[in-house]
Amino acid sequence: MNVEQTKARAGPREFSPKDDLPEEYRKAATRMLEFHANSEIMGAYLERPFIRKAPSLERKMAFSAKVQDEIGHGQLLYRAAESLGVKTRDEMLDDLAEGKGKFLNCFHYPLESWVETPMIAFFVDGAAMRRQATLKKSSWEPYAHAMDKVCFEEGFHVKHGESILSELMNGSKKEQEMTQEAFEKWWPRILQFFGPTDDQSSHHDFAADVGLKVMTNDELRNAFLNTYLPKAKKYGLEIPDEPRIRENDDGTYDVVEDDLDWDEFFTIAKNDYEPGVGQIEGRKHAQDAVEWVRNALDEQEALAAGGQSPQAAD
């Protein structure tokens, strides 16, 4: 099947690993899935410290479950990407550890205090749910099926984040002020979650033509804004003056996208941003720390198959 035939059959049609698909489709789907899987892994690394730092046993248990879920989502998505036959799971994980793998802008920034946790667990996860719900209709069948499980669990993550936000905004005046400061810091980053504006997006057109995506970045951003800006106000958060938010005649909202720092965003996208580099190094250290386990498993598998261990072969 060539690219034009793939475009013509996209839409409600789903493609599976048994289909004869053009390399361009396979590479585009792999890039999209690898980015998503990397983001799940790096999001887990971002929140992992709060398993210990959370202020109560209940919160520690919730963060432990959340981190476990995110790692599981990443592995599920790597497998769906691997089924395209372009890159293996190990290659994708190695690229992530070496700083070659791309991931979401929000996960390049460190979480520095407890009051910042709902910025990820409520707003970013809410944005993720907005995007992931549309991917249940993705034309790559393993991706669409993976989204059923991911969205189910992400729904609990959003409720967890909303619970933390509610607790903070109904807490002491100091807690409310600190949460407002965290919101003002994270709000522009959250609005950039969906990626560059449609006129700057380099991959959307093909992905939409072949059914990998069903909504544009701007459509997703505006849909999120119209749902979550009222929720932010509901909990007493004040919307920052910048970036400017316009209220339309029909009561909907959109953001003045020129107010967002797209230079910083594209620097982040190249993995060339100091906080993000720190996150990547954390991933590399973790991968290096368990390399001996992978080697031992590879050796055991080789011996069980009746062959020579990789170390002995060297």
- In this structure, are residues 29 and 140 in contact, taking their beta carbons and an 8 Å threshold? yes
pLDDT over threshold 70, residue 308: no
pLDDT over threshold 60, residue 27: yes
pLDDT over threshold 90, residue 231: yes
Determine the average pLDDT of the residues in 126-143. 93
Can you list the alpha helix ranges (DSSP code H) found in the chain? 3-9, 23-47, 50-53, 57-82, 89-97, 117-118, 125-134, 141-169, 173-191, 204-209, 217-234, 262-269, 274-289, 291-304, 310-313
Q: How far apart are the C-alpha atoms of 73 and 153, rounded to whole Å?
A: 9
Band (pLDDT 50/70/90 cuts) for residue 189 is: very high
Cα torsion for 112, 113, 114, 115, to the nearest 10°?
-100
Tokens of 248: 């339309």
* Alpha carbon separation from 263 to 36, 273, 286 (Å, rounded): 22, 11, 30
pLDDT over threshold 60, residue 29: yes
Band (pLDDT 50/70/90 cuts) for residue 298 is: confident
Domains of the chain plus CATH, in order, are 3-272 (1.20.1260.10)
pLDDT over threshold 80, residue 119: yes
Band (pLDDT 50/70/90 cuts) for residue 281 is: confident
- The residue count for the chain: 314
Judged by DSSP in three states, 206 sits in: helix
Q: 128: exposed, middle or buried (C-beta count within 10 Å: 0-12, 13-18, 19+)?
A: buried
